[in-house]
Amino acid sequence: MPLQPTTSAHLDHVLATAQHDARLPSVVAGLVRDGQLVWSGAAGTVDGRAGGPPPDADTQYRMGSITKTFVAVAVLRLRDAGRLDLSDRFEDLVPGTPLGVATVEQLLTHSGGVQAETSGPWWERTAGGDWEALVAQPVGARFRAGRRFHYSNVGYAGLGRLLEVHHGRGWFDVVQKDLLEPLGMRRTTLRPTGDAAPGLAVHPFADVLLREPEHDAGAMAPAGQLWTTLDDLARWARFLAGDTAGLLSADTLAEMLEPHHVVDEPGKPWVAAHGLGFSVWNEAGVRYAGHGGSMPGFLALLAVRLEGGDGVVVLTNTTASPVTGDLTRDLLRGLAEREPRMPETWTAGGDPSLLELVGTWHWGAATQTARVDGEHLVLGEPGAARGSRFRRVAADEWVGLDSYFAGEPMRVVRRGNGTVSHLDVASFRLTRTPYDPDADLPGGIDPGGWT
């Protein structure tokens, strides 16, 4: 559904203001909703000079570390195909490497303790060699594997090498054939092609520009080399929002977006974490997922609001600016406030057979209410105490989805006449009355009863 002209005008103004105030040579941005690019805009000139060519949705920019998300999805596809396990040690899958005992999962979540950068010259500004040259520098661990979050570009170089070892071809060829081509992302490439913006540095104290180098990073390329366009990156935002075109299951995508390790900044509350390749964070209680990107001459950001799926992408050709985070927030806020989602029409579509499970239950002397929400049975309030949603897996068999009871079984126990006696939730007995003596409670009931 197209946006109102006043909404588009507001978003255009937000983008133009950011380009001017942050002195961005050029910037393109887009908003995704319900599987569609509902707004896109561009500001500035590609070369940063008056009269220069304007950017558009087909202008290539370097995406930087958003590259890592493609590598991560390709690794999870290997896992789903049964060719590796996330608990496998990297050195067992890629023999002869110096990355210690870090597992695949730890490299994906930046918790393998691997050093952040290479031991050689600044890899983002110098041409790179092959994998053997990289590990000979040498590279190694900074922390015990699994101890803490420690962002590692070198770790993702290792994951790129893992793809090559398992597929017998280059990592980008794997990404291109298995992800980019099926998604129609034909303007996402290893090196710039066609209409591509130059990487530029803007002097912090003067309105002058410096062109940044561009090169093949070799073995380090999986950490941040890919080039893309607004249209292509918007397609990847749709992927992150759930439109995976069958290339990744919904369960695996959800697993990738679970917070695995918090990003611990001294003196600050925990608001950000890292999943399996994607960053996840909270802003005012709203959860987002995505990734940022930074390479000399370029900044990029991809963010999706997980509830509802609204997404934003930003690409700009400047080396340093804090504006991308503020710009993504302003654009998403403009969409949400000026084009609020219409609530879905309520219709009666529940399962009457579940009425025997709803209402008041007692866990000892505590009281919980059960209700049906779509296909789920909800006990209490998920996220509060031991409240959880449960999904039915068989007749009278359910499994918890949240918090304490995530993955735990719930069994509906019936009397001989078929009526419900009680619920067995991970060995806890929930009864219709407190400490129901007919529910065969473990430990029994004091014969004196309530006094």
Q: Give the helix/strand (H/E) hosting 42.
A: strand 36-44
- Reading the block at residue 399, the tokens are 């499994």
**Measured between alpha carbons, how far is 305 from 280 in angstroms, rounded to an integer?**
10
Per-run averaged pLDDT (10 residues), the chain, 451 residues: 92 98 97 96 97 97 98 98 97 88 96 93 92 91 93 96 97 98 98 97 97 95 98 98 97 96 86 95 92 96 96 97 90 96 90 94 92 94 88 96 93 94 93 88 87 88
Phi-psi region of 193 (alpha: psi -120 to 50; beta: other; left: phi over 0): beta
- What pLDDT does 37 receive? 97
- Residue type at 282 in one-letter notation: N
**Measured between alpha carbons, how far is 330 from 322 in angstroms, rounded to an integer?**
13
Residue 267 phi, psi (nearest 5): 80, 5
Query: What interhelical angle do 230-240 and 67-80 show, nearest 10?
Result: 40
Is residue 306 a contact partner of residue 289, using CB atoms and an 8 Å limit?
yes
Q: Give the helix/strand (H/E) hosting 411.
A: strand 409-414
Entry pTM = 0.93
Query: What interhelical angle do 323-338 and 5-21 show, nearest 10?
Result: 170
Give Cβ neighbours of residue 202 (< 8 Å, ≥ 6 apart): 23, 24, 25, 48, 208, 209, 318, 319, 320, 321
- What pLDDT does 436 receive? 87
Helix spans in 5-148 (H): 5-21, 67-80, 90-93, 104-108, 131-135
**Measured between alpha carbons, how far is 325 from 387 in angstroms, rounded to an integer?**
34
- What pLDDT does 251 receive? 95
Angle at 44 between CA 41 and CA 50, to 5 degrees: 150
Tell me the CB-side half-sphere exposure of residue 316, using CA atoms within 13 A.
Answer: 32
Query: Which of 52, 155, 174, 63 shows the shortest CA–CA distance to 111?
Result: 155
- Reading the block at residue 97, the tokens are 């490497």
Is residue 330 a contact partner of residue 21, using CB atoms and an 8 Å limit?
no
- Residue type at 47 in one-letter notation: D
Residue 211 phi, psi (nearest 5): -75, 135
Is residue 139 a contact partner of residue 118, using CB atoms and an 8 Å limit?
yes
Give Cβ neighbours of residue 397 (< 8 Å, ≥ 6 apart): 409, 410, 411, 412
**Measured between alpha carbons, how far is 290 from 314 in angstroms, rounded to an integer?**
12
DSSP assigned state of 180: I
| Residue ranges of E strands in 203-310 | 209-211, 227-228, 261-262, 272-274, 279-283, 286-295, 298-305
Dihedral, CA atoms, 8, 10, 12, 14, nearest 10 degrees?
-150
**Measured between alpha carbons, how far is 362 from 359 in angstroms, rounded to an integer?**
10
State the residue for tokens 């918790």: 111
Each residue's pLDDT tens digit, 380-399? 988 788 899 999 999 999 99
Is residue 7 a contact partner of residue 13, using CB atoms and an 8 Å limit?
no
- Reading the block at residue 317, the tokens are 């050709």
Query: Which of 371, 372, 435, 425 shows the shortest CA–CA distance to 403?
Result: 425
Say whether 320 sits in a helix, a strand or coil. Answer: coil
Count of CB atoms situated within 10 Å of the CB of 126: 15
- What pLDDT does 268 receive? 82
Give Cβ neighbours of residue 111 (< 8 Å, ≥ 6 apart): 145, 146, 147, 148, 149, 150, 260, 261, 274
For each of the domains in the chain, give its residue range(s) and CATH number, in order of start. 5-338 (3.40.710.10), 352-439 (2.40.128)
